[in-house]
Structure 1
């Protein structure tokens, strides 16, 4: 555990220290986010934050390759460096989009290329933990891998609409997924706790934490597509790496639905991005538009529309991520009664936060009372 935390801190520190230089680069390169009708920010802001996040991830991964505890992951397989290369590819693709606003066909082609690169190097969904282990054919595995990776990248990209939102959601969800991957690793071996999935999520969390101080309200830089797509790819790669690794049913507390956890945990981690992505695709196709056509109906837009402030909207989406991702993880750690109590209290709190905006804006209460 200490090695993973050390690498997390390396990723966070490098990201934090490199971000000011990337902000200057974005200004000089003209990679700026203009104020558009559909945006919620009110000032022109540099993008390209994903470049700093990739620097943190790359630094931590390179150090990990020389740590005796983890060097076996790099010596026995090309997967870690393949994932890093794919992350670099989508980061550069996103940076080009941050600068020149690429069309959706070009972006999608680049995303598919990165997903194919992962599959070619063995980062592929060859099994599904449903009803026992189901071995997939080569073609089915490739198609499913590409779908998972592309959907994950776009889901994180879609939810990146408020200061600190995407980085915070991914840090929270990634922490839950890290604990899950680490628990699986400990259950599989009493001597070797090295895990590619745990490593990837640790450096992902670090990059998010290092970027957040620059990105919270009021943001001095946005991660842009270079960051959001990279985060989606890393989490997808972590999911693929852990799926089929061990039998989750061997874990205490997982007898009832343990075989579904490799699917449920990533869905819980990504529940907010996936939900926003699914609703956007259905909404846009239903109105005869491209699923990549931008609009003002994302989840964060809806929260602002019912009266929440930007900061409160972000905290609400953090809360939902905590409730769902932690709630799915708890059966591995505590008795069923405690799990039920957590779900009941967590959902109640999340619903109250979501649908009672005035309660959480005391300043507005005072203003309304004064007017009346």
Structure 2
């Protein structure tokens, strides 16, 4: 199968590309605008493979997209290109509207026109898989409620509102035009190659540098944590086995308060990389003013994908977070090169 992956240099996208190249015989064309969060170094191990290729393209550029579709002739699209950082969406929502809404519309239209030119058999086999977030559902008030595939949308931030909009567009293109789409909504991802501004890598790297570990409010926000490699497996299962028009929620079955997550990381670092002073890294925890509109709890009901597609996460939070901390300890050079963009410039032949 020939798979076009948008946003394949991002955190989840790169995990998907690595999974496909390392575990299947499929071909992958990765298109990515390469914003601050897109890093080609995350794909260094698959870059030499003849079944993998990369093109630096913005999904808002219809002309270039049309050319790519004509040349590559994909049999499936996995759409992960998105602006995804809530804090950034609060400070500057315009980019989120442009990429997540206008960009998704643009991709849908280019895909639809390409799909209409396929044979009837090719049309039936084609898939457009839109990867989204559980944040579109908003906040869970109770302690036992779970997001299901039929939970009403109630986004709280410019980011989640833009992703909700893109979900609606994808479903509309399926119902109105017959484009064979599938939507997945996932819980918080974590794992290797995560951009350093996100909670888990930020805490790890700040701790190693002896910097404060900032936690919003009281740190009592609850998230369901999903190991990114488990997510990549799930996404491939959906695009190859999922039913057209369906939505699948993907979760890790690991609800944790943010303060629990940070303290767990501190304990692992205390064991693996103790401070010279022998003080616990927990002494670096600092509580900061909560972000506007901060949802308290997210939790996914992933029973549908378990029943329909026989997928379940392999990692518990305890095994996954230890693997993550160990990965960062062993790959500090990756973090430096991602933050300063040096590998990216070398790969693209751009001078500093």
* TM-score for both structures, normalised by structure 1: 0.25
Bigger helix share: 1
Bigger strand share: 2
